[in-house]
Amino acid sequence: MRDTNTCPDCGVAPGTRHADGCDVSRCPECGTQALQCGDHTSSGQGIWTGEWPGDLECREWDWWTPFTHPNGTTEMVSDLNRLALAAARGEVRWDKQAERYR
């Protein structure tokens, strides 16, 4: 659990667009990490929702994966790999208006 609602990289408040160069920001046009998207450099940054990109989708679709902490405790976290895979396979589609996957 993160203890603050601001973006862990650029520090903006929820509901605000990320700063340029932010690691967390997703391209609003296609949903890939904004830093890695070379196609839509003019569309700017995604909106920071207050949680990690993909957490909302994984919660909605019940996609979880066990994560083991260094101290040996295990908790279920959002399965972001599954989301990335589903996006690559075209099983989920990026919704430009809502800036999330469907």
- Pick the closest to residue 25 from 39, 65, 11 (CA basis): 11
What three-state secondary structure class fits 66?
Answer: strand
Binding letters toward Zn ion, positions 41-80, x by CB under 5 A: ----------------------------------------
Please report, as residue ranges, which positions from 2 to 41 form the binding site for Zn ion (by CB under 5 A): 7, 9-10, 18, 22, 24, 27, 29-30, 37, 39-40
Return the exposure string of 61-70: e unless at least 16 CB atoms fall within 10 Å of the residue's CB, then b.
eebeeeeeee
Q: Where do contacts with Zn ion occur on this chain (CB under 5 A)?
A: 7, 9-10, 18, 22, 24, 27, 29-30, 37, 39-40
